[in-house]
Amino acid sequence: QVQLVESGGGLVQPGESLRLSCAASGTFVSINVMGWYRQAPGKQRELVATITSGGKLNYVDSVKGRFTISRDTTKNTVYLQMYSLKPEDTAVYYCLANLRQNWWKELNDYWGQGTQVTVSS
């Protein structure tokens, strides 16, 4: 009923850039928070960046100044522009949407399928 479709991952060299996109579709009445998490091999999933419906931003310290999250509310889409990529940014990146399917229902988290980002020379 709710789908999050990610795109934009790939293989890049250190110092290069990538832009991830995630579009939400299906049945819902509002989206509260959208964001990106990542999981590297052998590590726990960690928050990368989030953006609220009001535009409040949050970043993990390791990406501040290098990554920019943005949101197009008309398209229910969230973006992650990544600059100056480092090998330690290598991970599967997952999109998150915290949304309400109907006005009488509570907010719930929905996840995308993940997109691989590999930074290597």
What is the reported pLDDT for 103?
87
What is the reported pLDDT for 35?
98
What are the mean pLDDT values of the chain's consecutive 10-residue runs (121 residues total)? 95 98 96 97 96 96 98 96 98 97 91 97 95
What is the reported pLDDT for 104?
87
DSSP string for 32-92: EEEEEEEE-TTS--EEEEEEETT--EEE-GGGTTTEEEEEETTTTEEEEEE-S--GGG-EE
